[in-house]
A and B are shown apart, each in its own frame.
Chain A
Amino acid sequence: MPTLRESTTAVVIRGEHVTDGFTSEPYEAGWAIEALLFLRLLVQPETSVGNVWVEISADGFNWATDGEPVALPKAEGEVAFRRIGHFGNWLRLRLEMAEGSTVQLLATLHLKG
């Protein structure tokens, strides 16, 4: 019987109404060798212009950005994603949006290791 790898989905933003500067709670996943981030808007926004930065950390409270940002979906039903590898122990997301802009966002990390 083979030993299967661990695989889990963490909901890191569960329908929160996010604005510029919002950060998700740190997610610790040092056991995982890969992560896939999915982004989906739960409600059609008036405007959706913004980016999501993936951030990594050595300790869970001091953060560095990793790579280029992911553009937010433009409309309800559209899915954006980012493949993430070699991230150490901690992951979080940071929103960069136009002032006054807001979206109701679902962000999930799909981790395997």
Chain B
Amino acid sequence: MDAMQKALIRANPKLSRFDPLGRIIYFDDFDEGLQGWTSLIGNYEDNLDRMHPGYRQLTTPMLSNLSFWDNGTHGSVDGSYALKMATRPKAGAQNVGIKRLTYVRACPIQIEFWFTFKPEASTQKLLDTDLRSVGILLDLQNDDYRIMPHLRYLNAFEGQRIEKWQFKEKTVPFERFSEKTVTHYHLAERDWQDLSGERQVLCYNEIPTKVNWQYAKIGFDLRTMRYTHFECNDVAYDMSGIGALQIDAMPNLRGMLNVGFFVESDADRRSSFYVDSILVSGEWD
């Protein structure tokens, strides 16, 4: 990135809190609407009942202004609205929001986003262990492989605060519906590994109706299909030995560049993941 491009980005109040690569593939500020973010639907044939139960629980993302019963509207970073994914009120429940593109160059890419998370404030307690995790996944395919990097911030597990980022690199078995259609539930609660031995304490605040926005940045190289970097707020992680789910290339997915956000609940209460904005950039001439 040359000095002029850098100066232009830094002088733009919408972009200055990001650190993009040379090309902005998309920049979604959810004050502008849903902008292509949608529900994840599982594969099925003949009847929705045949969808994997993991996918059947998923619901449509919302535009939220973060309104709370005791303190009114919280709003987002630089406006009123954020993308919201909410689980059902059940321990282990999950939800996903996804945006689907294809890549035009196999190149280094970077995903940056401002986010926060909270359990539903339906009881007057701290609820700091009610939300299990929030995370991000990529779903990519080149000529040889389908690659699915998964990262999550494990806030709590079975009632205990964990506060660690985790990754996943093992695949789960596929189930076949027919000659043409298969499914696999890659978000199953298995095979997560810690990115680091260190906890990263994110600002949860002191009651469930106060929120603070956080920043994360993921680098991934579509040429090597390896992570290049990952940072959350002021903590950078060593990604050099970190892998991703990898399976043989599947029909009809070549060039896929999907980004998904997911949230998991650790209690019988809804958990919500809010994203204020996301910038996906790439490096090519």
Which chain B residues border A61 with CB–CB below 8 Å? Answer: 120, 122
A77 at the interface (CB under 8 A from B): no
Report A51-93 CB contacts with B as 1/0, cut-off 8 Å.
0000000111110000000000000000000000000010000
B34 touches A14 (CB 8 A): no
A59 to B122 Cα, complex, angstroms:
9
Q: Which of B49, B56, B69 contacts A59 (CB 8 A)?
A: B69
Interface centre among B49, B62, B80 (most CB of A within 10 A): B62
With most chain A CB atoms within 10 A of its CB, the pick from B60, B69, B81, B121 is B60
Interface residue from A9, A15, A25, A58 paired with B49 (Cβ < 8 Å): A15
Q: Which residue of A lies closest to B31 (CB)?
A: A31
A6 vs B62: C-alpha distance in the bound complex, in angstroms?
12
Name the residue of chain B whose CB is nearest to the CB of A62. B69
Closest residue of chain B to A88 (Cβ to Cβ) is B67
* A59 contact set on B, CB distance < 8 A: 67-69, 121
A39 to B125, CA, bound (A): 38
Pairwise interchain contact A60-B120, C-beta atoms closer than 8 A: yes
Q: Is A21 in the interface zone, CB < 8 Å from B?
A: no
Mask of B241-275 contacts with A, CB within 8 angstroms, 1/0: 00000000000000000000000000000100000
> Nearest residue in A to B69 (C-beta to C-beta)?
A59
Q: With contacts A8-B34, A15-B48, A59-B68 known, is A28 near B88, CB below 8 A?
A: no
Q: Which of A9, A10, A11, A42 contacts B62 (CB 8 A)?
A: A10
Q: Contact residues of A with B, CB < 8 Å?
A: 6, 8-12, 14-16, 25-31, 42-43, 58-62, 89, 104
Enumerate chain B interface residues (CB-CB to A < 8 A): 33-34, 39, 41, 47-49, 56, 59-60, 62-65, 67-69, 80-81, 84, 86, 88, 120-122, 270
Contacts A8-B34, A28-B62, A89-B65 known; list 14 others, CB within 8 Å: A10-B60, A14-B48, A15-B47, A15-B56, A16-B56, A26-B270, A27-B60, A28-B63, A28-B65, A28-B67, A29-B62, A31-B63, A60-B120, A104-B49
